[in-house]
Amino acid sequence: MKQADEDFYSMFYIEFFKKFNSYNELPDSWRKDKEILANFIFEHIKNKQKVLSVGSGNGFIENELSKKWGKELVAIEPSKTSSKWLKKNEKIKLINGYFPDCLHSTDKFDFAYMSYIDYVFDDNMYVNMLKDIKEYPINDFLLIGASVYTPNFKESIKYLIKNLLSFIGLYNQQRWGYQRTVMEHLAIFKKAGYKNIEYGKLENGTYWIRAKNE
């Protein structure tokens, strides 16, 4: 199965920007979900001075934050196409590239977050990314929109059948990424060296994990 990669995202965003011309045109339900995330992030950063967003995508969340939070927000995003709207927002410093290579070690942040990204990482990439964040150092980190797998019988059967069909070439699918149980996520955070870890679920079912360097 093919993993969603950089080429995939570039293609995806080209189609995306053909369909939508501004944040306001995005479907209401999508916006409402992301607003819940933005409000939750806001609660964490309201007393912080400098915050980093890793993998900002189209930047909806960052744009929302910039409306009610006036401190320094730096957004990193490897795909240039995806940032078409965000780059017009002068309150946000946008950097094209990958964390941590695209930053200068003199840039200090008192908080960082990543939203809807873990699903693109295999276990190794996930641990390494968290280690990079911990060692940067970023002492307060929030992963939001964690892709969580809650196994149940019906899902396991569906998964098995999909895998069998793809094995004989009848089910040709773009693999969207990795799903993990909450315990698997926590084990990866521990492997990266975090000891102070909390997690929870928002009103729309979105999972978050917060880890502090201590």
Ligand X SMILES: C[S@@+](CC[C@H](N)C(=O)[O-])C[C@H]1O[C@@H](n2cnc3c(N)ncnc32)[C@H](O)[C@@H]1O
Query: Minimal CA–CA distance to 121: which of 17, 5, 1?
Result: 5
Q: Which of 40, 69, 116, 126 binds ligand X (CB under 6 A)?
A: 116
CB 145, min distance to ligand X, A: 6
Query: Which region, judged by CB under 6 A, interacts with ligand X, from 16-24, 50-58, 161-169, 179-187?
Result: 50-58
Side-chain-side CA neighbours of 168 within 13 Å: the count stands at 6
Asked if residues 64 and 37 have their Cβ atoms less than 8 Å apart, the reply is no
130 binds ligand X (CB under 6 A): no
- 77 or 140: whose CB is closer to ligand X? 77
Asked whether position 98 contacts ligand X by CB under 6 A, the answer is: yes
Give yes or no for residue 100 binding ligand X (CB under 6 A): no
Backbone angle region of 57, left / alpha / beta, with phi > 0 → left and psi within -120 to 50 → alpha: left
Per CB under 6 A, the segment of 40-48, 78-86, 133-141, 160-168 that binds ligand X is 78-86
Q: Does 75 bind ligand X (CB under 6 A)?
A: no
Task: Find the binder of ligand X among 41, 57, 109, 180 (CB under 6 A).
Answer: 57
Applying CB under 6 A, does 77 fall inside the site for ligand X? yes
Q: How many CB atoms lie within 10 A of CB 146?
A: 21
115 part of the interface to ligand X, by CB under 6 A: yes
Site string for ligand X, 174-203 (x = CB under 6 A): ------------------------------
CB of 158 to ligand X, least distance (A): 23
Q: Which two tokens stand for residue 132?
A: 């990079």
| CB 139 to ligand X: min, Å | 20
Spatial distance between the Cα atoms of 208 and 116, rounded to a whole number of angstroms = 10
Binding to ligand X by residue 74, rule CB under 6 A? no
Distance in Å, CB of 60 to ligand X, minimum: 6
The Cα–Cα gap between 127 and 81 comes to 27
DSSP codes of every residue in 16-51: HHHH-SSGGGS-HHHHHHHHHHHHHHHHHHTT-SEE
CB 148 within 8 Å of CB 177:
no
Report d(CA 164, CA 49) in Å as an integer.
Answer: 51
Residue numbers at the binding site for ligand X (CB under 6 A): 9, 54-57, 60-61, 76-79, 82, 98-99, 115-117, 120, 145
